[in-house]
Every structure is written in C-alpha cells, then in structure tokens.
A and B are shown apart, each in its own frame.
Chain A
C-alpha cells in the first residue's frame, strides 16, 4: 500500500511540470529548514530564559503555544472540513487486508499541515530546553507535547470523518458547512475582538495607574492619601492577576486542551505524577477517538456511507410554474435591464448557483462579520469627530477589505462552475459576454456589502452629503477595477475547486503563486481611487474654489472613466478567454 501511495505521489509530481516540481522541492526543503530553525530558536530561548522562570511563566508560555496552535489548526479545519483520505477505503475494501493499517496511514497523513510544521518544532525545542535546564524529570514534558498533538489530531480526524459521513447527504451537508463555518469565522475574528477590547481596557487602566502614581509623587497635604490610593490600586491589580491565574489554572485542569500547560507546570513544580496523568489522559482521548473513528468509518462504508443516517423529508415543494402563477418570476428567468439576454442568463444562473453553493456561502459570511467588526471598532471609538477627516480613506479601506473577501470567487470566476464551464463553451455566445455575466452575477452581493459598509460608516462618522454620495460611487468604481483584475487572473490562472469548500485542488503551483501574488498586490490597483481625496485636500488651501464639490465630481468622473475602461478591457479579455478557454476547461474540470 505504501508503494502504491508513493507511486501515486510520484506520478502526480511527474505530471505537474518541471517548474511546479522545482517549486515544490524548494517548498519542501524550505519547510524542513523552517522547522529546524524554529526548533533551534525555541531551544536557545528556552536555555536562556527557563533557568529563572517561575511556574506561572511556564503555564502562560504553554497556554500561549497551545492556543496559537489550536487557532491555526482550526483555520486549517475550515479550509478542509471533510476528511479526505489519502488511501480510499472504498478502493481497498474488497482486498484481503487489514483496514487498520490503511486507517493508520490516513491518520498519519493528516499530520502534514502548516500548523504542525510551525508549532511542533518550537514546542519540542522548548521541551528539550526544559529537560536540559531542569533535569530528566522534565522528560514528561516531551511526552506531554506528543500526547497533546496526538489528542488534537485524533479528535480532528474523528470530527472530519463524522462530518464527511454526515455530508453524504448533500443538502444536510450544506447546512453543516454553513453552521460550522460561521462558528469558525467567528473564532478567527475572536483575537481581533479580544485585542480591541483588552487593549482598550488596559490602556484605560494604565492611564488611571499613571495618574495615581503621579499624584502619589506630588508633595503636599494630600500626598499620604494619594500614596494609599496608589498602593490600593497596585494591590487590586495584583489580586486581579492572581484571580485570573487561578481561573486559567482551573480551566487548564478541567479542559483537556489545557492539560499540556497544566501538566507542564505540574512537572516543573516537581509534581511529576500529575504531569504523567495529564499525558496519560491525552493519550487515552487520542486512542479512544481513533478507535471510535475507525469503527464509525467501517460502519459507514458497510452501511453505504451517509445513506444509513440520512433521513429525507418528502415535503411537497412549490414548482416554478406555481410560483410563476403567483406572479413570482424565478431568478434564472429574469432579464437584466440594458443587458443582453445571454449575459443576463449567465448573471442570473451564476447568482442562483452562488446563493446555493455552500462553499460560496462560507465566503459570503466573512464580509458580514467584517462589517460587524467594523461596527465594533467604530463603536469603541470615543471620539467620532477625529475620524471625520479620515472618513474617505476609511471608506476606501473598508470597501477594499469587503471586496477582497470575495477574492476567491472574483479571481477564480469559473472555479465554482466546474463541469458547467463546458456549457459556456458550447453555447453560441461571444466570450466577453461570459465575463460580463460572471461579473454581474457577483455584483449584487459585493455591491450590497460595500453599500452596507458605507452606511455603517455614515452612521458612526457622519459624512456630509458630498462625501457620502462620492463614497457610494467609489464602491462601483472599486468593484469594476477588481472585476478587470479578477477576470484577467481567472483566465490566466484558473483553479479547480474541490467538492465542498473553497480549497483549490490539482492546480499548477505557479497558478497558486500567481493567485497569492495578486492577492497581495490587489489593494494597489485601488490607489487611483484615492485621487479625489488627495485633490480635495489640496483644494482646502485654495479658498476661491472651496465651494466646488470636488470629491463627488471626481468620483463621478472616475466612475465614468472606469466604465469606459472596463468596456474596452472586457472585449480584450474576451479574446484572451477565447484563446485560453481550452486550458481553463482542462484545469477546472480535471478530476
């Protein structure tokens, strides 16, 4: 089986082209170098710092590492929600072999991830440093690290398998993907929210502390009282810290995810039995998880996947004809004003697909959360007037971030179409109209998100009418600019998307790199939209033209210019698509 797996990998590598092979080799070598570097760095830091460390330092350090790992690990889970086994059970079930080894192989394969590459080496480095500094008893630390990774990977593997089983029922799969993704996105945003809240609170406390300290230093009749207040403040702060540590310690003891830091601190304090117990507990959880996962995998296969657990409700559904009789025209039949019938068809069918695709819904959630975060940030600001002068810049930033969150679709327009892309090529339609239709399909979602952002900004930072209207026009211009870039990237570096999720698969490495490069450079293409704000700033010094609504006018002109440019570019991009359509088809439909 290992030979078969190695042949599959080798064949896949041989097919990927010389450049991809070279880049992959560099990537693998680089990964090993990074891992080794992180191990050495953690070892050196540990040797330098751990000699004078207190138990609470050990606790906090390992909590930080564990939480950091969990955070990145969860992001990985979001991009690949279902378990995708390296070796398919279905293909091996008829052979007279033990599937336990296949399961183990698949489980070990799941270790190949960026999160483990980044976190395991420094954790091991730090654990080795602890052994060197505090003696062989800290060998328990190594055991704890391995148990922690074993537990997390086993639990995740179990979860992924369970989700894969549930998702055999595709409709239910969509709801699951939605729910879990929403949770994950919230979790991803959590550090931001905590950062904003904590930094705001702690800055207030620091200011209060500074004030009390300054008062205590001022000589005079009230000095004694000020000193007493300062001491009481310090006392309260110390008590608060102790309380937090107590709570964190308790949480670490109760939650299995905290057994790594808790066990580390216990071992560090000489309570080696407790440390061993933590490691044992995590190993047990890993073992139980794997055992359960193996059983459910076998049961799922024998029972025919999710069919055994799928319960379908045969609720009567309203037909399109019935909806039409009520005067409700189905989305795919709608004709867009001023747009040709064929481009309208692509736009409406594209929008309908997007609204149903769970992978797209995942993506659509992020701007909503982004807006929520934006609201939170603006609400926390105590001086809205200070934001008024930079409101146009903030608006552009918010629009850019909003549109960038749709980048996975904007820059890979045909990825979600999969086999459906063949329909475009077989249809009697000029290629530039395909691009127009695809851009129009996304427009309602992206523009709505942009407008909501602007309205939110207007609510918190009241802009005058000129700036508000100008910023609304800016949303259109920004979208058109991103469309031009997105069309181009979609044509020259198309990528196939996997069944569920926005994870690209099987694409050439240079396509990936191009996508990443464009992602990084994307904000730069919006720089012309800063022009009205810049000109307006210069205009402030010239009183004789101060009455002209430069900001609004220039944004109007910019929108017209962008439209003209878009129209011209679209034709050129249509020709480009025509010349590369077979390559695009081959890439996005490759199984």
Chain B
C-alpha cells in the first residue's frame, strides 16, 4: 500500500480553541478521499496544514512522503500537488490566462506546454468567453473554476480541493466531476471536502468524517454499512437528532 497522506496526532489550536484534535489521517495513493464534517469541524484547517498554509500545534504530517514543515521537503511536495484553497488564491488584477501562466511558470513548466494546457482548461471550464476579464470581475463560481484550472495545470499527483463545487453551476459541476473521475482513474489522489454528500457519495472511494476537530470515521465508502446512505451515516456520526432540531416551541403560533 502506497500512502499519499498520513498524519499522526495532528492538532491545531487557536488560543483556547482546539480546531483540530489528534487527527490520524491515512489516505492511500489513487484514492478519492472525501473529508466531511459539519461547519467549523476543522476540515479547512486540516487542509491548510496538509498544504503548508498553516503550521500544526502538534503532530506530524507526511504528504507524498514529504514533510510540509521542512522547507526543502515542502518545496518538493508543492511541486507535486494542486490546491483549491477555501478562500482561493487569485490575483485581482490578472486575467484568467495570465494567472494560469503565472501558476505554470511557478511550476517551471515549458511555455509551449503551458499555452496548450491553458487553452484546453479555459475551454473545458467554459472560461474562454470571459478570458478578457480580470479575476476581480469574476463571480464566485467562475473564480472556483479558475482556481481548479490552476490546480490541475501542472498535472499534479495529489489534488486538495476545499469545497470545489460551491457556487459552481450544474453544467460546470458535471464537467468537473467527470474531470476529477478521469484524474483519479489515471492513478492520482484527490482529497476533497464538500458539504454536498450526494457528490461525495457519487465520487469518493474513501471518506473521513471530522467532528469538533476529531476524526470520528475513516473508511472505504463501500464498507460504510449495508443499505445505509452516506447521509444517514454522517448524521449518525455527527450525532444530530434531526427530529429534535426541527421542533420549535412557537412554530404553531402566528405573528411575532
């Protein structure tokens, strides 16, 4: 078994608040890993630590065999990964093609290859007609698509995607799903967070569920349980009583 991501006792606190607590992740190469959790559970914090955007308070990380906390190893790791971060990483005053050119050059890609891939990506993600616009003028969905294009551009071995479908229209969402499936099929690894459980269920091979900073479930999707949907399992693990939440004492009354 080849490991793409492994963390041991990964923790991160902000003052007294423990955002991520003793997380032991294990993601094999070639898997499509869905990282789930309710709002504020610690998903984005974990991705930030895995990609070197945030230092952990405790614990160790290994991404593609490299430690992102060691500068030299972090450089090797970053040359092999693609990231769509939660808050994106776009420059306001560059156009789509310019931003992608910048990204490609940062990965030392030859200009000829870069131009070809940029043209293909812009066409595939339906960004061609808005190529003359600056990214500051893009809608949130368009920005997400551009960030995804930037992540895919260097053809990485591992993709980190933080809510890649958020704000993306149905057509583009379908294109992206197909793209990611093809990406996984050729042996690359994808680590994805999403609130849309249906998408995770449809795409992922493995899931991890984080609640209040703790990894409470980590398994192959197929072995989640016979008959039960991911949503049911998720709600069970998260511990939310839907029926109880839906009850409001004053709901039967009218007026203020």
Contact = CB atoms under 8 A, between A and B. Distances in A.
A557 interface: no
B239 interface: no
B106 A353 contact: no
A352 interface: yes
A419 B87 contact: yes
Nearest to B52: A425
24 contacts: A330-B98, A332-B94, A332-B101, A342-B105, A349-B101, A357-B93, A418-B91, A419-B89, A419-B90, A419-B92, A420-B92, A421-B89, A422-B88, A422-B89, A423-B89, A423-B91, A426-B85, A426-B89, A427-B103, A427-B107, A428-B75, A430-B71, A430-B75, A578-B71
Given A330-B101, A344-B105, A585-B53, A356 B75 contact: no
A341 interface: yes
Contacts of A320: 97-98
B136 interface: yes
A171 B77 CA distance: 38
B23 to A, nearest CB: 19
Interface string A417-444: 1111111011111110000000000000
B83 to A, nearest CB: 5
A319 interface: yes
Contacts of B111: 333
A589 B76 contact: no
A349 B98 contact: yes
A427 B150 CA distance: 11
Given A356-B93, A585-B53, 9 more contacts: A342-B106, A345-B101, A353-B91, A353-B93, A419-B89, A420-B91, A423-B106, A428-B75, A582-B54
Contacts of B101: 330, 332-333, 345, 349
Interface string B72-88: 00011111000101011
Given A345-B106, A425-B53, A353 B92 contact: yes
B137 interface: yes
Contact of A352 (B76, B93, B119, B131): B93
A380 to B, nearest CB: 39
A18 interface: no
Contacts of A326: none
Interface in B100-117: 101-103, 105-108, 111, 115
B94 A349 contact: yes
A427 B106 contact: yes
A219 interface: no
A170 interface: yes
A356 B134 contact: yes
A94 interface: no
Interface residues on A, range: 35 or more
A582 B69 CA distance: 12
A426 B75 contact: no
A427 B78 contact: yes
Interface string A266-281: 0000000000000000
Listed from nearest, the 3 A-B pairs whose CB atoms lie closest are: A345-B105, A422-B89, A420-B91
Contacts of B98: 320, 330, 332, 349, 352
Interface in A391-426: 417-423, 425-426
A428 B87 contact: no
Nearest to B97: A320
B140 interface: no
Interface in A335-384: 341-342, 344-346, 349, 352-354, 356-357
Interface in A572-591: 578, 582, 585, 589
A428 B107 contact: yes
Given A423-B103, A428-B76, A589 B134 contact: no
A582 B54 CA distance: 6
Nearest to B137: A170
Interface residues on B, range: 35 or more
B53 A422 contact: yes
B94 A353 contact: yes
B178 interface: no
B132 interface: yes
Contacts of B119: 321
A563 B87 CA distance: 38
Nearest to B53: A425
A317 B133 CA distance: 10
A571 B198 CA distance: 48
Interface of B: 51-55, 71, 75-79, 83, 85, 87-94, 97-99, 101-103, 105-108, 111, 115, 119, 131-132, 134, 136-137, 150
A299 to B, nearest CB: 23
A421 B97 CA distance: 18
A431 B97 CA distance: 24
Given A317-B132, A332-B102, A429 B75 contact: yes
Interface in A304-318: 317
A582 B53 contact: yes
Nearest to A575: B71
A81 B131 CA distance: 29
Interface in A185-220: none
B152 to A, nearest CB: 14
Contacts of B108: 341-342
B134 A428 contact: no
Contacts of A332: 94, 98, 101-102, 105
Contacts of A357: 92-93
A426 B131 contact: no
B102 to A, nearest CB: 4
A488 B90 CA distance: 24
Contacts of B76: 428
A330 B119 CA distance: 15
Contacts of B92: 353, 357, 418-420
Contacts of A585: 53
Nearest to B78: A428
B129 to A, nearest CB: 11
Contact of A349 (B54, B87, B89, B102): B102
Contacts of A417: 91
Contacts of B94: 332, 349, 352-353, 356, 420
A171 B97 CA distance: 18
A97 B55 CA distance: 46
A317 B102 CA distance: 21
Contacts of B53: 422, 425-426, 582, 585
B137 A420 contact: no
A365 B134 CA distance: 22
Given A320-B97, A330-B101, A341-B105, A426 B78 contact: yes
A420 B136 CA distance: 11
Contacts of A171: 137
Contacts of B105: 332-333, 341-342, 344-345
Given A352-B98, A426-B83, A420 B89 contact: yes
Nearest to B134: A356
Q: For B93, B102, B105, which residue has the most chain A Cβ atoms within 10 angstroms?
A: B93
Given A420-B89, A420-B90, A426 B51 contact: yes
Contacts of B77: 428
B55 to A, nearest CB: 6
A343 to B, nearest CB: 10
B74 to A, nearest CB: 8
A428 B154 CA distance: 11
Nearest to A319: B131
